[in-house]
């Protein structure tokens, strides 16, 4: 085998022009694939980070309360009892926070927006304040400075609100301004609350378009709810990978404790309203989900991006494969007499096949490793540069206002192995043809 490796490597060196050209092409495709995968991973990380901070816990215990068969509210009643069961039954529990849910109109002196209300207890929050990055004034105020104003932790104070920069821009407000929240209580009456903007956070793509943060008390007051209610319990685990399995455990524990549960449905709670309103029951039913259910409407972004990435890469790889096949045909043609000689002196068909496959394997492996290293270096460089995303539409897709690329060793390995395999397979047919050359014909071959 050693001599075959030696011949294969030396043959590659022997044709520097052809080898360099093919290696460059394979390397660039690998770089391209690694960059796309890094962007996809970056979006995925944004999604996980944002989703598990802004939209859901790792596991969510929410519910619907129906006073009549025709009405439904996203409320969990008797939350103290529910929380006890969840705390007792959740393996690997880190902490639990409450999110009170509502929907209302936020009005300023110059504008108005519709938004979901997230009521929280600042003192109970874990990662929330670490993940919520505040925006410099210039992001929401024309002619504003790069200075960051406000403090999101002031949500511990009554009648406060944290907006995202896009919302603040539309409302024309800054930190310290007062806005009014208008909602409708469960009895149908209008209710309002004046709240002070205590911080303005950087946008997080689509997730930040329909959400504002207020203290729990604001939501309870607006909807005239008592203290033993909440919108959802967000359960955080030591290991996010255990989310789905833990959801099943929690569901079982709640059923055992006598709570009524909706069947599992992989959708965020606001997608379920219409169905719940049409269901023929009254009272309380809990709805237990995991974080991916709550952002399932966003996973299309990743699916579409990944599909597009692989499709583009596939097109490039097919072009490269044609190039490799062509190069290998040339190599076989140029070295037909050499193959004939090796066959004549006792080299088996299998070894000839291996020899040519080794050549394309080494070419592919060398080029993909260099290409992947280059791709990783570019991706890390771009990520470190924290390049701002100028377009709202792109921000929505990337779920971030900065270009975030993530490099994982596994993705590099996938890029290297898949492209090396593909380039090696491209040489299979020429290699088979070379191995099946009759020695006598190969020896008398003329160019």
Partner 1 sequence: MSGIVRLMDVVKDYPLGKVTVHALRKVNLTIDKGEFTVIAGPSGSGKTTLLNLIGCIDVATAGEVLVDGKSTGKLTDKQLTSLRLNSIGFIFQSFNLINVLDIRQNVEFPLLLQGGLSKAERQARVDDVVDKVGLRQFASQRPNELSGGQRQRVAIARALVTRPAIVLADEPTANLDSTTGTQIIDLMKEINHQDHTTFIFSTHDEKVMKRADRVVRILDGMLEAAGLSESRGPSESGGEQVHA
Of 111 and 366, the one with the shorter C-beta distance to partner 1 is 366
Pick the binder of partner 1 from 5, 7, 257, 380 (CB under 8 A). Answer: 7
Structure tokens at 208: 């930040």
Nearest residue (CB) to partner 1, 153 versus 433:
433
Could you give phi then psi for residue 425, rounded to 5 degrees? -65, -30
- Which residue's CB is nearer to partner 1, number 144 or number 439? 439
8 Å CB contact between 254 and 81? no
Q: 205 or 340, CB closer to partner 1?
A: 340
**Least Cβ distance, residue 92 to partner 1 (angstroms):** 56
By beta-carbon proximity to partner 1, the closer residue of 325 and 347 is 347
Contact 60, 216 (CB under 8 A): no
According to the binding rule CB under 8 A, does residue 333 interact with partner 1? no
343 binds partner 1 (CB under 8 A): yes
Structure tokens at 273: 């309203």
What does the alpha-carbon distance between residue 426 and residue 326 come to, in Å, rounded to a whole number?
9
| SS3 at position 200 | strand
Using CB under 8 A, which residues numbered 410 to 439 contact partner 1?
A: 438-439
Cβ distance to partner 1 smaller for residue 315 or 344: 344
Q: What does the block give as tokens for 59?
A: 């596991």
- Least CB distance to partner 1 at residue 353 (A): 13
- Work out whether 344 is an interface residue with partner 1 (CB under 8 A): yes
In the complex, minimum distance from the CB of residue 441 to partner 1, in angstroms, rounded to a whole number: 9
Q: Residue 109 has what DSSP assignment?
A: S
Residues 286-325 contacting partner 1, CB under 8 A: none
User: Interacting stretch for partner 1, rule CB under 8 A, among 72-80, 91-99, 333-341, 392-400?
Assistant: 333-341
8 A C-beta contact, residue 30 and residue 372:
yes
Closest contact distance (angstroms) between CB of 238 and partner 1 is 55
Regarding 16 and contact with partner 1 (CB under 8 A), the answer is no
Residue 330 touches partner 1, criterion: CB under 8 A? no
- Count CB atoms within 10 A of the CB of residue 321: 17
Instruction: State phi, psi for 71 to the nearest 5 degrees.
Output: -125, 155
Q: What is the nearest approach in angstroms of partner 1 to the Cβ of residue 351?
A: 7
| Shorter beta-carbon distance to partner 1: residue 9 or 373 | 9
- List the one residue from 349, 381, 413, 429 that touches partner 1 (CB under 8 A): 349
Helix or strand holding residue 253 (H, E): helix 243-256
- Closest distance between partner 1 and the C-beta of residue 324, in Å? 20
- Residue-wise burial string across 212-225, b where 16 or more C-beta atoms lie within 10 A, e elsewhere: bbbbbbbbbbbbeb
Q: Which of 180, 196, 341, 418 binds partner 1 (CB under 8 A)?
A: 341
Distance from C-alpha of 125 to C-alpha of 132, rounded to nearest angstrom: 12
Cα→Cα distances 31→210, 306, 361, Å: 37, 16, 18
List the x/- string, 351-390, binding to partner 1 by CB under 8 A.
x---------------------------------------
- Binding window for partner 1 (CB under 8 A); candidates: 125-133, 161-169, 309-317, 343-351: 343-351
Residues 6 or more apart whose Cβ sits within 8 Å of residue 293: 56, 60, 264, 265, 266, 267, 268
Q: Which two tokens stand for residue 351?
A: 């070894």
Q: Would you state the structure tokens that stand for residue 134, as one six-digit string?
A: 């505040």
Candidates 189-197, 213-221, 276-284, 336-344; binding stretch for partner 1 (CB under 8 A): 336-344
Distance set, CA 158 to CA 98, 164, 177, 180, 220 (Å): 17, 19, 15, 14, 12
* Among 337, 408, 433, 445, contact with partner 1 (rule: CB under 8 A): 337
Please give the C-alpha separations between residue 146 and each of 134, 142, 238, 330, 446, in angstroms, as whole numbers. 11, 11, 36, 61, 74
Total of residues contacting partner 1 (CB under 8 A): 25
Of positions 3, 138, 304, 315, contacts partner 1 by CB under 8 A: 3
């Amino acid at each position: 085998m050693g001599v075959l490796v030696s011949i294969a490597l030396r043959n590659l060196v022997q044709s520097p022009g052809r080898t360099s050209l093919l290696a460059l092409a394979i390397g660039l495709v690998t770089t391209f694939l690694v960059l796309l995968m890094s962007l996809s991973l970056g979006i995925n990380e944004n999604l996980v980070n944002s989703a598990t901070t802004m939209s859901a816990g790792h596991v969510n215990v929410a519910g619907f309360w129906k006073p009549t068969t025709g009405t439904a509210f996203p409320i969990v009643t008797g939350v103290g009892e529910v929380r006890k069961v969840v705390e007792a039954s959740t393996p690997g529990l880190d902490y639990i926070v409450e999110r009170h849910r509502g929907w209302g109109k936020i009005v300023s002196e110059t504008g108005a927006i519709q938004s979901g209300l997230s009521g929280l207890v600042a003192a109970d929050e874990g990662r929330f304040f670490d993940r919520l990055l505040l925006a410099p004034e210039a992001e929401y105020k024309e002619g504003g400075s790069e200075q960051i104003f406000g403090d999101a932790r002031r949500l511990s104070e009554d009648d406060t609100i944290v907006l995202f920069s896009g919302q603040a821009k539309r409302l024309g407000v800054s930190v310290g301004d007062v806005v009014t929240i208008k909602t409708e209580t469960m009895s149908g009456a209008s209710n309002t609350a004046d709240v002070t903007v205590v911080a303005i956070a950087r946008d997080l793509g689509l997730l930040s378009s329909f959400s504002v943060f207020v203290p729990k008390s604001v939501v309870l007051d607006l909807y005239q709810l008592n203290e033993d209610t909440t919108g959802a319990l967000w359960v955080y685990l030591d290991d996010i990978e255990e989310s789905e399995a833990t959801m099943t455990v929690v569901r079982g524990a709640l059923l055992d404790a006598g709570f009524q549960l909706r069947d599992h449905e992989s959708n965020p709670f606001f997608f379920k309203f219409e169905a719940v309103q049409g269901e023929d029951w009254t009272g309380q039913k809990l709805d237990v989900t995991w974080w991916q259910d709550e952002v399932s409407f966003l996973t299309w972004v990743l699916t579409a991006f990944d599909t597009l990435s692989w499709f583009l890469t596939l097109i490039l790889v097919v072009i490269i494969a044609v190039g490799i096949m062509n190069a290998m045909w040339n190599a076989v043609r140029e070295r037909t007499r050499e193959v004939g000689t090796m066959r004549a002196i006792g080299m088996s068909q299998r070894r000839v096949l291996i020899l040519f496959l080794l050549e394309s394997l080494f070419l592919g492996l060398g080029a993909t490793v260099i290409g992947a290293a280059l791709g990783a270096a570019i991706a890390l460089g771009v990520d470190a540069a924290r390049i701002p995303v100028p377009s709202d539409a792109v921000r929505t897709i990337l779920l971030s206002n900065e270009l975030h690329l993530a490099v994982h060793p596994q993705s590099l390995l996938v890029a290297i192995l898949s492209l090396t395999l593909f380039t090696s397979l491209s040489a299979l047919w020429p290699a088979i043809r070379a191995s099946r050359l009759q020695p006598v014909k190969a020896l008398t071959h003329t160019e």
